Amino acid sequence: MIETGGSGRLWLLTGPAGGYALHLTERDELLHLHWGARIALSDAEALAADPLPGERPGESALDGHGEYPLDTDPRAVRPALSVRPGDPRGPEWCFEEYEIVTGGQARAGEGAPRGGGQGGAREGQQGGGQKGRQEGGQGGGGEELRLHFHDSRHHLDLTLHYRIRPGSDVVERWSSVTHVPGGPGGRLELLRADAATWSLPYRDGWRLSRLHGRWGAESRLVRAPLPPGEQLLAGHGHAGQRHLPWFALDAGDAGEEHGEVWTGALGWSGPWRIALSHLPGGLLQVGGGADGGDPGLAVLEPGARYTSPVFAALWTAGGFGAASRAWHAHQLAHMVPDARAVRPVAYHAGPVGGRGAAFGTQAPAAGGSYGGGAPAGPYRGERRHRELARRAAAMGVELFVVDDGPPGARLNDAAGHGDREPGAAALPDGLKPLSDEVHALDMRFGVRVDAETVGPDSDLCRAHPEWITRAPGGRAAGRPGRLLLDLARADVRDHLAGTLGALLHGAPVDHLVWESGHHGAGPGLPGEPGERCPAPPGTAHVAGLYALMDRLRADHPGVTVESSAGGGRVDLGMLERTGVLAASRNSDALDRLHIQHGFGQLLPARALATWVTGGPAPGPNHRRSSLRFRFVSAMSGALGIGGDLLAWGAEECAEAASWIALHASVRPVVQAGALYRLRPPGDGGLTAVQYVLGPDTVVLAWLPAQGFGTPVPPLRLRGLDRGASYRDMATGVVQRGAVLAERGLRTTLAGDLDAAVFHLRRV
């Protein structure tokens, strides 16, 4: 709900438990008033009437209070918006009007607008390629506040957007900047245009939680006191592998289930930046958005517009666990495509030609195999995949995925990649016969594609050398054996949309695995139709990628998509377009417990691609673990199977089938339920997570190692009805909710690399 007060110059956004308030002064200064527990409109008006602290030498009274700091006077925080060349007199911002949009219908501000700027066009749909599909969302509904400002000296229109959805405390913010035609100046360089600045109240001390890592060891959670001054979180290329665009802040006293937590995340898969400014007076401001680096974000010709990605955030009084549950509920209700449907169990069969190593035997390089690997026994080519499909179906697999689409006559990667016409070498009749057989086995058919790259010796590369992305200096961008296509170009996107559309219709294909093992780069940022705004590497490529994926999903609404970027592109922007993200290429079941613990701080189990693979685990120790441990680890998300099923024995296949059946019985609770982290992964002791959905509770527990004489503690469950009884669906044993919460659930785990699944139902 969005309420207006203060003679039309105060706004209060209210969710189920939280409130967010801002106020426009008579001098057109936009001030932050409140972000925390729900307050009434009269409370917000009382906050607005309270004067700001007095000026101090070298400081501004607006420090820590400005809602979207602009470069108008000295401040302790960086301005959220900056352009070049600047007017020597500085910008002259004035407020024009506001709108509140509900269900696509806008109502103008009741208060008389102040200021008389020239006023550019007001956007009804978001443009510039940055905002993408956020306007529609998955859950629809909600209310959006739009505040319009104009800078008469630089001829810029600035719109600040605020949206709140039904049943959610998440506030979604973004900005759009338009260079208004008709001014005396020419083009402007947009150096910075943050999506939002978040202002937090005074606390004696702040603690920062963030997610960092490296390839194969992503999403590691770390918490540390936030010192005074500025701390910068940033990601170059893909969002995710080294740093995720997410933060959580508390006063140092919050726990898993208690204490105030403020947390935010960017919906952007390219270069990004989040700056945390711990100010001298104890206040804290957090600003962020896409990062254009030294050259800036874009060059705006008169009439061009830039729209930032979404920066979403929420407050909770229930600790880090409640923050995660609020994030998950918001994403499942309003962002994740087809969130009500459970994710099918997938088998990745690898390339039809048998290229690459089995996934799980070693960590596949970008572009490597996700499944079948080298041919085994008498099976080769398409015959091999037919046999893999039969064995997968017998185990209970529901989605059968092959690698790379119609590969053409693949003499080598460099020659074939990018040439999508079916050739005689591997698939003489194309994918349709295999797709038909997979469908006859009652499975869906999927294809893994690397649509963003092309082989340097491919027909496509020779025909269109201008389609290749060029790094500064003219060098072709990409990775060994792959050149990066310039997705900022409309003709490249048209070609890929047509090629992929033919693939999806021709087989037919039900599911796309969108491979991306490279960093995005591109020399241009798409703006309005017919425009082309130069931009630094990364920003343009991701903007074009979003436009292409949005187009494919609109043209093929029945096709599901997942992102496979090896731990990259783990962010809200990619989540909204795919619904399933790859947290890492590391499939080791023990390593994944740490990776999945960090992933779940922001993202739900429904969005997590998990893996059970054969052979020794990747990494330096080549750890071997039981199918039990591997399957229970992978049940924390959307289960996938890798490895060569032709090399699995009958006993192993039968055990896998039993685990898949168990997963199918508990996944509605895991993928849509409320997450409780009972015991985080540590140095080898018991770790467990719990999911609650209606009357059902599922507990996944792991014991990496047990010291001699060390007992395994019971698990004190959360989120239960203490006055009810719960039946174990496997054993029939009934226990009281209060007993499970106080004494705890006894797991019977023992030894090393043990694991178990418990499914309880209220009776």
- pLDDT tens-digit map of 406-440: 443 333 344 445 554 433 345 667 889 999 999 99
Strands 608-612 and 581-582: parallel
For residue 316, count other CB atoms closer than 10 A to its CB.
25
- Span 613-641, average pLDDT: 86
Question: Which residue did the predictor score with more confidence, 278 or 109?
Answer: 278
- Res. 227 pLDDT band, cuts 50 70 90: very high
Tokens 């701080």, residue located: 601
- Res. 567 pLDDT band, cuts 50 70 90: confident
- Span 570-577, average pLDDT: 94
DSSP code per residue over 306-330: EEPPEEEEEEESBHHHHHHHHHHHH
Q: What is the DSSP letter of 302?
A: T
Closest CA relative to residue 435, chosen from 382, 480, 478: 382
- Res. 259 pLDDT band, cuts 50 70 90: very high
- Six token digits for residue 35: 């972000």
Show contacts of 551-555: CB within 8 Å, 24+ apart.
551/493, 551/497, 552/497, 552/500, 552/501, 552/512, 553/337, 553/577, 555/497, 555/501
Q: How far apart are CA 55 and CA 273, in angstroms?
A: 30
Q: Best-predicted range by mean pLDDT among 97-106, 193-202, 563-572? A: 193-202
Range from 171-185, 319-333, 616-630 carrying the lowest mean pLDDT: 616-630
What is the reported pLDDT for 106?
A: 60
**Angle formed by the axes of helices 627-634 and 589-599, nearest 10°:** 10
- Six token digits for residue 488: 């900022």
Helix, strand, coil share (%) of the chain residues, nearest 5: 20, 30, 45
- Span 18-23, average pLDDT: 97
What is the reported pLDDT for 369?
A: 34
What is the reported pLDDT for 682?
A: 84
- Span 691-711, average pLDDT: 94
- Res. 238 pLDDT band, cuts 50 70 90: low
What is the reported pLDDT for 618?
A: 63
- Res. 98 pLDDT band, cuts 50 70 90: very high
Q: How far apart are CA 644 and CA 639, in angstroms?
A: 16
- Span 95-108, average pLDDT: 80
What is the reported pLDDT for 693?
A: 98
- Span 551-559, average pLDDT: 95
pLDDT at 691 over 60: yes
- What pairs with residue 309 in β-bridges? none
Question: Which residue did the predictor score with more confidence, 480 or 461?
Answer: 461
Residues in the chain: 763
Closest CA relative to residue 193, chosen from 351, 95, 311: 311
% of the chain at pLDDT higher than 90: 59
Q: What is the DSSP letter of 341?
A: S
pLDDT at 459 over 70: yes
- Res. 734 pLDDT band, cuts 50 70 90: very high
Cα 134 from chain centroid (whole Å): 13
**513: CB partners within 8 A, 6+ apart:** 348, 370, 401, 446, 447, 448, 449, 561, 562, 564
pLDDT at 203 over 80: yes
Cα 726 from chain centroid (whole Å): 35
What is the reported pLDDT for 64?
A: 84
What is the reported pLDDT for 378?
A: 61
Q: Tell me the HSE value of 94 on the side-chain side, using a 13 A CA sphere.
A: 12
**611: CB partners within 8 A, 6+ apart:** 359, 360, 587, 592, 634, 640, 641, 642
- Six token digits for residue 116: 């008389």
Cα 8 from chain centroid (whole Å): 36
DSSP code per residue over 370-391: SS--S--TT--HHHHHHHHHHH
Q: Domains in the chain, ordered, with CATH?
A: 677-762 (2.60.40.1180)
- Span 657-669, average pLDDT: 98
- Six token digits for residue 117: 């700027």
pTM comes to: 0.89
**688: CB partners within 8 A, 6+ apart:** 678, 679, 699, 700, 701, 702, 715, 747
Rounded to the nearest integer, the mean pLDDT of the chain is: 84
514-524 per-residue burial string, b: 16 or more CB within 10 A, e: under 16: bbbbbbbbbbb
- Span 700-707, average pLDDT: 93
Phi, psi of 266 (to 5 degrees): -90, 140
- Res. 117 pLDDT band, cuts 50 70 90: very low
Q: Best-predicted range by mean pLDDT among 226-235, 536-545, 732-741? A: 732-741
Which tens digit of pLDDT belongs to each residue from 336-370?
A: 999 999 999 999 998 765 443 333 333 333 333 33
Question: Which residue did the predictor score with more confidence, 129 or 594?
Answer: 594
